[in-house]
C-alpha cells in the first residue's frame, strides 16, 4: 500500500508534513506481513547492521550491537512537555512545549535524508477491542519497525479500524543521523549524541516526539511513551489505571484461580515473576503480561486488566533455563537480540545464561572476548541491559485468556523493588489507602535499565512509575486514592509489598527468589481468601513465621530475618520519606498518605 491511499485525511496530512520536514528518500507503510518483516531483516543483514543467528540454534533470530551511548532509556533526556511545569510535577523533566517543538523541529529538519521513512500503524491491545488504543509511529529505523512488529499489533488491519477519522496517537521517531549523498551506516548503529537525544511527550495533544536514540523504550514508542506516559494521563482523565505492572494467573491445587498484577521498577523481576515456574506442588502460574497493565472497572465493579503489548522486551543477563525457562523457550525463534554477546557459530550468550562462555566471543562492543573465570573485574560480554524481543505467543506459560479484550479480574496487586535491607519478604496493606501508601513509598536500588543513573544506589520509585508517569506524581497518588473512594473495598484488589532482594551482611541473597517466589504467591492467594496465617505488625499484616513453607537453603533464622520488622530501619524510612520524599509533592500530596505516615511512625514508636 502507498501512503497516498490512506483514507484517513488527518493521518495523511501528518505524514505529508513529516515527509516535507524530514526529507526521506522513500516512504513505506508497515503492513504487518511476514514477507515485509523478512525483507526488512534481510536488508539489515545485508547492510551489516544485523547479524543473522544460527539457523538451527535460533531460527529466524537476529542480533544487533547498539552504540555505547544508546544502551538504555535516558531519563535525563526524557521530557513531559505539558502546557505548564506544574502539570508535569516535581519528578518529571519539563520544557515549555512551544520551545521544545522549536528545538526539535530544527533537529528533525532533513534528519531522514538518505533513509526510508516507515509509517507503522499499531494497536496497543487486541485490534478493534474497545480497550485498545491506536498509535501511528513514523520512524527511519528498520530495527524499530521489526521490534514494533513483535511488541505490538502492526499493520493494515489497524488502518481499517482507524477508518477515515478514528483517533490515534502521533508517535514521531528518528535516529537522528541523516546520511549525505552516497553515505551509508556501514553496519554501525545510527543515533545522535546524548545531548541531542530527546524523548518528548506532549500530554495535552497526545503526541510523542523522539529523536536521537534507537534503543528500547526510547524508540519503540508504543511501550513506555504511549502505553504508560501518555496513557497514564488518559487514564487519570477517564478514571482507569495505566501501570508498569506484570499480570499473572495463579491456579491452586484445588483448581481455584486468581489474577495478580505487580509493579516492580525496571530490571527488578517483572518478567521473571510473570513467567514463574512454581516450586510448590500442583500450583500453576501462567503469564498474561510482563511489563504493562491497563486496568479498568467492569460492570460488576471489579478491576479488569489487559496487557496492551504483544511481545516481551526482556532483560537477557540472568535469564537461563534454570531461572526463567519460559523466557528461554519464548526467545528460541523469531526473536531479536540487542547487545548480547555472539558466539563464533552465531548464537547468543550472556552472563547468567546458565553455562560457561565458549572459548571465544564477540562482546557487545564488538571486541573479541575470552572469559577470565574468577576475575570479577572483567567487563561483561553482554551489556547489563542487553535485551531479547520475543513474541508473547511463543511463551509456553502464556495464559489462554491473555488476549481477552475484557481483561482479567485482578485479585491482588503487589509492589516491590530491590531492597537489600529493612523491607521484609512480604507484608500486606490493611486497606486500599494503606496499599496506596505502600506504593507511594517504594524504593529500589537503581539498575542498568536507565543509562544516566548510578546503578546500586537506592531511590524512591513510587508505584515503579517514577520514569513513566506522564503528569504530576502527587495527582497520580490522588487518582489512586480517589479510586478507593469511588469503588467498594470488597471489590478492590488486596495490596501487598514484596521484596525478593534481601541480602545478608556478606552480600548473599537471603531468599532464593525466582520459582521459590511461588511460596509467597501462595500466601498472597490465601490472604485474598482470608485463610492465610497472619500477624498484625506496625507496618502492616505479615505472615506468621510458619505461614510460608521454607525452601531448601533457607534456615529458620533466615526466615525470621526475612519476616522481621526492623523497627529502627523503618523509623529511618519514615524520616527519609518525611524529609526527602513527601515534601516534593507539596499541596498535591493526598492527606490520606500524610496520615498513613503518621500512623506508621506512631506504631513503630510504640514497638520500640
Ligand atoms: P524491565 O523489563 O526493565 O521492566 O525489568 P523486569 O522488572 O521485567 O525485570 P526482569 O524479570 O527482567 O529481571 C531483571 C533481573 O533481575 C534479571 O537479571 C533477573 O535474573 C533478576 N531477578 C528476577 N527475579 C529475581 C528474583 O526473584 N531474585 C533475584 N535474586 N533476582 C531476580
Ligand atoms: C524498562 O526499562 O522498564 C523496560 C525496558 O521495560 S524499556 O522498554 O527500554 O523501557
Ligand atoms: Mn519495564
Strand ordering across the sheet containing 257-263 = 284-289, 246-251, 257-263, 412-416, 494-498, 426-428, 540-543, 534-537
pLDDT higher than 90, residue 63:
yes
Local confidence band at 374 (pLDDT 50, 70, 90 cut-offs): confident
pLDDT for 327: 98
Residues 6+ apart with CB under 8 A from 573: 422, 441, 443
- pLDDT at position 545: 96
Atom of ligand 2 nearest to the CA of 244: 3
Give the model's pLDDT for residue 488.
Answer: 86
Ligand 2 centroid distance, CA of 181 (Å): 35
Q: How far is CA 80 from CA 142, 165, 188, 217, in A?
A: 26, 27, 30, 15
**Could you tell me which of 530, 523, 601 has the C-alpha nearest to residue 567?**
601
Is the pLDDT confidence value at 309 over 90?
yes
Q: Flag the least confident range among 288-292, 488-492, 508-512.
A: 488-492
Q: Does residue 313's CB lie within 6 angstroms of at least one atom of ligand 2? A: yes
What is residue 373's predicted lDDT score, i.e. its pLDDT?
A: 85
Asked whether the beta carbons of 408 and 259 are under 8 A apart, the reply is yes
Q: Which of 271, 338, 397 to mutate to test the pocket of ligand 1 (most atoms within 8 A of CB)?
A: 271
Residue ID of nearest Cα to ligand 1 atom 26? 513
> 170-201, pLDDT tens digit by residue?
999 999 999 999 999 999 999 999 999 999 99
Helix, coil or strand: residue 285: strand
The pLDDT value recorded for residue 450 is 80
Residue ranges of E strands in 321-425: 336-338, 341-343, 348-349, 361-362, 368-369, 387-391, 408-409, 412-416
Q: Are 225 and 231 in contact (CB under 8 A)?
A: no
Average pLDDT on 366-379 reads 92
Beta-strand relationship, 361-362 and 387-391: unpaired
Atom 10 of ligand 2, residue of closest alpha carbon: 217
Is the minimum distance from the CB of 350 to ligand 1 under 6 angstroms?
no
The answer to whether 79 touches 93, Cβ cutoff 8 Å, is: yes
Residue 62 backbone phi and psi in degrees, to 5: -135, 155
The CA-atom distances, in angstroms, between 473 and each of 149, 287, 562, 597 are 32, 29, 31, 17
Average pLDDT over residues 485-501: 95
Give me the percent of the chain exceeding a pLDDT of 90: 94
Query: What whole-number distance in Å separates Cα of residue 410 and Cα of residue 415?
Result: 14
What does the pLDDT look like over 527-579, one tens digit per residue?
999 999 999 999 999 999 999 999 999 999 999 999 999 999 999 999 999 99
Q: What is the pLDDT of residue 376?
A: 87
Q: Is 266 in the pocket of ligand 2 (CB under 6 A)?
A: yes
- Per-residue CA distances from 232 to 268, 305, 475 (Å): 21, 14, 11
Say whether pLDDT at 47 is over 80. Answer: yes
Q: Is this prediction's pTM over 0.95?
A: yes
Q: Is the CB of 537 under 6 A from ligand 1?
A: no
CA nearest ligand 2 atom 8, residue = 217
| pLDDT tier, 247 (very low <50, low <70, confident <90, very high otherwise) | very high
The residues annotated as belonging to the active site are 268
- Which residue's CA lies nearest to atom 15 of ligand 1? 267
pLDDT-derived band of residue 128, with 50, 70 and 90 as boundaries?
confident
Is the pLDDT at 264 greater than 90? The verdict is yes
Question: What backbone torsions phi and psi does residue 342 show, to the nearest 5 degrees?
Answer: -120, 135
229 CB less than 6 Å from ligand 2?
A: no
Q: How confident is the model at residue 285 (pLDDT cuts 50, 70, 90)?
A: very high
Summarize the confidence of residues 310-333 as an average pLDDT.
97
Residues 563, 573 contacting (CB under 8 angstroms): no
Amino acid at each position: 500500500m502507498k501512503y497516498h491511499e490512506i483514507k484517513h485525511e488527518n493521518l495523511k496530512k501528518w505524514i505529508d508534513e513529516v515527509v516535507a520536514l524530514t526529507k526521506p528518500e522513500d516512504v513505506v507503510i508497515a503492513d504487518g506481513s511476514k514477507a515485509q518483516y523478512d525483507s526488512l531483516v534481510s536488508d539489515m543483514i545485508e547492510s551489516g547492521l544485523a547479524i543473522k543467528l544460527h539457523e538451527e540454534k535460533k531460527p529466524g533470530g537476529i542480533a544487533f550491537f547498539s552504540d555505547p551511548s544508546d544502551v538504555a532509556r535516558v531519563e535525563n533526556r526524557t521530557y513531559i512537555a505539558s502546557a505548564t511545569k506544574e502539570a508535569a510535577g516535581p519528578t518529571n523533566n519539563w520544557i515549555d512545549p512551544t520551545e521544545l517543538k522549536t528545538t526539535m523541529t530544527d533537529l528533525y529538519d532533513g534528519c531522514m535524508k538518505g533513509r526510508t521513512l516507515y509509517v507503522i500503524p499499531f494497536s496497543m491491545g487486541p485490534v478493534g477491542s474497545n480497550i485498545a488504543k491506536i498509535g501511528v509511529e513514523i520512524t527511519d529505523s528498520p530495527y524499530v519497525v521489526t521490534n514494533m512488529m513483535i511488541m505490538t499489533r502492526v499493520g493494515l488491519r489497524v488502518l481499517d479500524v482507524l477508518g477515515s477519522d478514528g483517533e490515534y496517537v502521533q508517535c514521531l521517531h528518528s535516529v537522528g543521523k541523516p546520511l549525505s549523498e552516497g553515505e551509508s551506516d556501514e553496519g554501525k548503529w545510527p543515533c545522535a549524541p546524548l545531548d541531542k537525544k530527546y524523548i518528548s511527550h506532549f500530554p495535552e495533544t497526545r503526541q510523542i516526539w523522539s529523536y536521537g536514540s534507537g534503543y528500547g523504550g526510547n524508540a519503540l514508542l508504543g511501550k513506555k511513551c504511549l502505553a504508560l506516559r501518555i496513557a497514564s494521563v488518559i487514564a487519570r482523565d477517564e478514571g482507569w489505571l495505566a501501570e508498569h505492572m506484570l499480570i499473572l494467573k495463579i491456579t491452586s491445587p484445588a483448581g481455584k484461580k486468581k489474577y495478580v498484577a505487580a509493579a516492580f521498577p525496571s530490571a527488578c523481576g517483572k518478567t521473571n515473576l510473570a513467567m514463574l515456574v512454581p516450586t510448590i506442588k500442583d500450583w500453576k502460574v501462567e503469564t498474561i503480561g510482563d511489563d504493562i497493565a491497563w486496568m479498568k472497572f467492569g460492570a460488576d465493579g471489579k478491576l479488569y486488566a489487559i496487557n496492551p503489548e504483544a511481545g516481551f522486551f526482556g532483560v537477557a543477563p540472568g535469564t537461563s533455563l534454570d531461572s526463567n525457562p519460559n523466557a528461554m523457550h519464548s526467545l528460541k525463534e523469531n526473536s531479536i537480540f540487542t547487545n548480547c554477546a555472539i558466539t563464533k557459530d552465531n548464537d547468543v550468550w550472556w552472563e547468567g545464561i546458565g553455562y560457561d562462555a565458549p572459548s571465544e566471543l564477540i562482546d557487545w562492543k564488538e571486541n573479541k572476548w575470552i572469559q577470565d573465570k574468577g576475575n570479577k573485574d572483567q567487563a561483561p560480554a553482554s551489556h547489563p541491559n542487553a535485551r531479547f524481543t520475543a513474541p508473547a505467543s511463543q511463551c509456553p506459560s502464556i495464559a489462554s485468556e491473555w488476549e481477552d479484550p475484557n481483561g482479567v479480574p485482578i485479585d491482588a496487586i503487589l509492589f516491590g523493588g530491590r531492597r537489600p535491607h529493612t523491607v521484609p519478604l512480604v507484608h500486606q496493606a490493611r486497606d486500599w489507602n494503606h496499599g496506596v501508601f505502600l506504593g507511594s513509598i517504594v524504593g529500589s536500588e537503581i539498575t542498568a535499565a536507565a543509562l544516566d543513573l548510578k546503578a546500586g544506589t537506592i531511590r524512591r520509585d513510587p508505584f515503579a512509575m517514577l520514569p513513566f508517569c506522564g503528569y504530576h506524581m502527587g495527582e497520580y497518588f490522588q487518582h489512586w486514592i480517589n479510586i478507593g473512594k469511588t469503588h467498594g473495598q470488597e471489590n478492590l484488589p488486596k495490596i501487598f509489598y514484596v521484596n525478593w532482594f534481601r541480602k545478608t551482611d556478606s552480600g548473599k541473597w537471603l531468599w532464593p527468589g525466582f520459582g521459590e517466589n511461588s511460596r509467597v504467591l501462595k500466601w498472597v492467594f490465601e490472604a485474598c481468601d482470608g485463610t492465610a496465617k497472619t500477624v498484625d505488625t506496625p507496618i502492616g499484616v505479615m505472615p506468621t513465621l510458619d505461614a510460608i513453607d521454607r525452601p531448601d537453603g533457607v534456615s529458620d533464622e533466615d526466615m525470621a530475618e526475612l519476616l522481621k520488622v526492623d523497627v529502627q530501619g523503618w523509623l529511618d524510612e519514615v524520616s527519609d520519606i518525611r524529609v526527602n520524599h513527601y515534601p516534593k509533592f507539596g499541596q498535591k500530596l493526598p492527606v490520606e498518605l500524610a496520615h498513613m505516615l503518621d500512623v506508621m511512625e506512631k506504631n513503630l514508636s510504640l514497638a520500640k
